[in-house]
Structure 1
């Protein structure tokens, strides 16, 4: 079993880390305070050719694999959870489904601009009344001639205000359950839909989280992704990859919090010595490192299995569950190591702590991950 990263993956990680430290870290708290989506950062990420890392070169992507993509998510999360979240939503949710399920014409029209970084992607699954029960949606898409007419509300949708395309899940056959769900590509210029709310959140406020309202939104029939009724199967396959990206983002957030705590512990002195020499502090820092290493290994294993074409439902869920929970635990301990300073916005741990909580909620709560894992174990 090989644990060393391939050279091209290591080079990608180093390139993205340098960019993050030079360009993102200095503004990470500022964009949170301002609740500002940093479009300029994503313009630079496009120039670095990382907005389509796991997308085939034929469609404007880098042609990398899931492991390389996970490394990018981790590095972004290490300095800014908001940027990491919008990036992961763009790639895993807004772009990858078009590559997996779209026609050649759809890939040319919708995927290539996303992979090249000319536009950002978004994905609209959750509704006000359907969170963990995502399949219990009420948004509908009725066929009317050569168009579909969408009606309904979507909730907690990442990137919707800045997206060049949104993949919307809707019911095309009422009463058919998951077999009646389909996916549609909706563009900003389409009439009949709007962003009705941009939420202020506990954290991740530089990544827009929105409510969308569809009122007789008409889209041409060629906006249907795949066939009618395939939307739920597409969702499950999309989440297999998406959960790996959230696991990687969680590892990155935890790594950033750990590094902040370790640095502070070695510099801060109390009772005539660095606080890192006290057992209580040293043990916290050691435990942080242990948890991060475990979560990273699970995440990399899930990504490697995904790249090998294996069934990753269990491993992606396991990685997401473990990484998201240790992310919150590590960030909380980082705040504790810094004491009163950890509670101020002059230091990063408070931001990692607030950002970490969403990792246990988005793309399936921890409770849902345990449900998935139980089913995978035949329980």
Structure 2
């Protein structure tokens, strides 16, 4: 089936991507501003069926599907652009598309059995099906490798049992990728991880929703706790290139590297809203934009917009399914952690600039704060990702027998030019036995240096020089501040039995 045949009603015979993207953008504007009140929708759980039906009418998920199965080809730049188009209007919608694409369609494309790919992809295109990924368990979030969901093989089928929660699209998805560990005859679980495709149209593969969660933000997306007790055919097991753990790392790293698509439209919306408000809002006889503190905030949002643009460029050229990203810890973690920090910071700044009227769930500023916050937590808490960034760099430094951070970064292709912006401030030896808090602090610095390198590359390609210059200046200043914190050796301590002698009212002078 050709892409033209299922776009013909809306777009004629054109298959040009810009035409496809523009039609998708116009569809979102029509749905959210004419057929429904998006500010009202944002305060409700779920999404009216007609809204998703309208959005799915253009088959936006086709960008994640290979051409031989009727899709647009799985080109990463198209995937990023569609996610960005969606996130300008709705971060939750963009995440919905991202879950489908990065956590189901791409791993199925790369690791799925040929016998099931065609029928599954056809249902995504023809029937507008959706899919998600179940990894997290109530007792095993960050510690995913110790998950207790297990499987055994019985008469040519796999029996998968366990409990999964916080899977985006709980109760909505038509397909799930479910992770589990092999259970031996003695009941012990294997160390490796396997993935299984579950089809909710088949009774023996149905995942039971035990509870829907009242998630703090992202109201459009249902989350909950699921009971898994399913039987799937042999061909529903994904086929790793080496180990299942590396397959999971490849999948998660690819997803993390693709976060900029969701961040791009969101950050542009924050920037547009801030500029419009601060030009029109007058305080003390002049527009807010004339105040230098306001200007600083908007300059930082603009720097975030530029940095995310640079990440989108890098992602488009490095995140294809033909590449194995299992070892891309530095790139994947830097991109995911930094861009999600930028998203939350930008939303907080917009809320500050908007004042009281922004502090409403049905206002773009208030909604953006709560919707962007979980991005710093899911698919790897940013604190953990920053720690892993440092551990990855320290491991490489040990292997190279290099102790000086600047010397190492100057020879690394992800940081070589960016390090020049720091003079000698990165010229120090790194202790290989840093405590966790120092690893996190160092990771924050390294993530921003990596981002600056991507910004420099974007500038080389012809991106606006004034935006590039502003971005590098903001990021250098931010990293310098983080360096000051890193060099402070005062330990953080917790006084556990703090109650005795700590009641302030006892010290009031009569």
TM-score normalized by the length of structure 1: 0.90
Stretch moving more, 84-93 or 107-116: 107-116
Q: CA offset at residue 212 of structure 1?
A: 0.8
- Find the counterpart in structure 1 of residue 124 from structure 2: 114
Larger Rg: 2
1:252 counterpart (265, 270, 273): 265
- Find the counterpart in structure 2 of residue 133 from structure 1: 143
**Which whole-Å CA distance do the structure 1 matches of 2:74 and 2:145 have between them?**
31
Q: CA offset at residue 58 of structure 1?
A: 1.2
**Which whole-Å CA distance do the structure 2 matches of 1:151 and 1:309 have between them?**
32
Q: CA offset at residue 228 of structure 1?
A: 11
Structure 1 runs (4+) deviating above 6 angstroms are none
Question: Residues 281-320 of structure 1: matches in 2 within 5 Å?
Answer: 281-307=294-320, 309=322, 312=325, 313=328, 314-320=330-336
TM-score normalized by the length of structure 2: 0.68
1:19 counterpart (21, 27, 32): 27
**Which whole-Å CA distance do the structure 2 matches of 1:41 and 1:301 have between them?**
33
SS at match of 1:142: strand
**Which whole-Å CA distance do the structure 2 matches of 1:274 and 1:287 have between them?**
19
Q: CA offset at residue 113 of structure 1?
A: 1.5
* RMSD (CA atoms): 2.4
Q: Does 1:199 align with 2:213?
A: yes
1:95 counterpart (72, 91, 105): 105
**Which whole-Å CA distance do the structure 1 matches of 2:387 and 2:394 have between them?**
11
SS at match of 1:218: strand
**Which whole-Å CA distance do the structure 1 matches of 2:108 and 2:86 have between them?**
24
**Which whole-Å CA distance do the structure 2 matches of 1:264 and 1:152 have between them?**
50
**Which whole-Å CA distance do the structure 1 matches of 2:79 and 2:340 have between them?**
18
- Find the counterpart in structure 2 of residue 350 from structure 1: 366
**Which whole-Å CA distance do the structure 2 matches of 1:289 and 1:231 have between them?**
40
Q: Kindly tell me: are residues 280 and 228 of structure 1, through their superposed partners in 2, closer, same or farther at Cα, counting changes over 3 Å?
A: closer
Q: Kindly tell me: are residues 346 and 165 of structure 1, through their superposed partners in 2, closer, same or farther at Cα, counting changes over 3 Å?
A: closer
Q: Deviations over 1:182-217 (max 9, x none)?
A: 1111122334630112211111011111211124x2
Q: CA offset at residue 12 of structure 1?
A: 4.6
Q: Does 1:333 align with 2:359?
A: no
- Find the counterpart in structure 2 of residue 185 from structure 1: 197
SS at match of 1:122: strand
SS at match of 2:42: helix
**Which whole-Å CA distance do the structure 2 matches of 1:161 and 1:137 have between them?**
22
1:280 counterpart (293, 296, 304): 293
Task: Say how many residue pairs are matched.
Answer: 371
Contact 1:37 1:208 in 2 (8 A): no
Stretch moving more, 169-178 or 105-114: 169-178
**Which whole-Å CA distance do the structure 2 matches of 1:66 and 1:305 have between them?**
9
SS at match of 1:322: helix
**Which whole-Å CA distance do the structure 2 matches of 1:259 and 1:297 have between them?**
19
Q: Kindly tell me: are residues 286 and 13 of structure 1, through their superposed partners in 2, closer, same or farther at Cα, counting changes over 3 Å?
A: farther
**Which whole-Å CA distance do the structure 2 matches of 1:315 and 1:282 have between them?**
31
Contact 2:63 2:78 in 1 (8 A): yes
Q: CA offset at residue 120 of structure 1?
A: 0.4
SS at match of 2:142: coil
SS at match of 1:82: helix
Question: Residues 29-48 of structure 1: matches in 2 within 5 Å?
Answer: 29-48=39-58
Q: Kindly tell me: are residues 377 and 121 of structure 1, through their superposed partners in 2, closer, same or farther at Cα, counting changes over 3 Å?
A: same
Contact 1:167 1:184 in 2 (8 A): yes
Q: Which has the higher contact order (CA 8 A, sep 6+)?
A: 1
Q: CA offset at residue 147 of structure 1?
A: 2.0
**Which whole-Å CA distance do the structure 2 matches of 1:82 and 1:111 have between them?**
23
* Structure 2: tracts of 5 or more residues without a match: 1-14, 396-510
Q: Kindly tell me: are residues 363 and 8 of structure 1, through their superposed partners in 2, closer, same or farther at Cα, counting changes over 3 Å?
A: farther
Contact 1:168 1:186 in 2 (8 A): yes
Contact 1:135 1:177 in 2 (8 A): no
Higher share of residues assigned strand: 1
**Which whole-Å CA distance do the structure 2 matches of 1:158 and 1:277 have between them?**
42
**Which whole-Å CA distance do the structure 2 matches of 1:233 and 1:12 have between them?**
35
Contact 1:172 1:229 in 2 (8 A): no
**Which whole-Å CA distance do the structure 1 matches of 2:351 and 2:316 have between them?**
30
